[in-house]
Amino acid sequence: MLSYPGMNELVEKCGSAFSAVIVSAKRARKMNEGAESLLDEYRGTKDVSKALEEIIADKLRPVEKR
């Protein structure tokens, strides 16, 4: 179960749970490969948790298709 950030917050930021999962998974992969942090401090320790925190902080969002 996801405790922080909450799923409702993520859906507000991304539009759907599916978008939040895809965006965070892609960002976590980049972080695992050595990408720089977008935040100064994280509550979580795993890359996926850090990516979700970046979404909540408006540092990461899904790309809108036109």
* Structure confidence by residue, pLDDT tens digits, 6-41: 889 999 999 999 999 999 999 999 999 999 999 999
Calculate Rg over the CA atoms of the chain: 11
**Domain span holding position 24:** 7-56
Q: How many helices (H) and strands (E) does the chain have?
A: 3, 0
What does the pLDDT read at residue 11? Answer: 92
**Domain for residue 40, yes or no?**
yes
- Omega into 5 within 30° of 0, i.e. cis? yes
**Domain for residue 1, yes or no?**
no
**Domain for residue 31, yes or no?**
yes
Q: How confident is the model at residue 2 (pLDDT cuts 50, 70, 90)?
A: low
The span from the CA of 53 to the CA of 60, in Å, is 9
**Domain for residue 42, yes or no?**
yes
**Domain for residue 44, yes or no?**
yes
**Domain for residue 64, yes or no?**
no
**Domain for residue 66, yes or no?**
no
pTM of the model: 0.87
**Domain for residue 50, yes or no?**
yes
- The set of residues, in sequence order, having a beta carbon less than 8 Å from that of 37 and lying 6+ positions away, is 31, 50
DSSP type of residue 66: -
Number of domains observed in the structure of the chain: 1
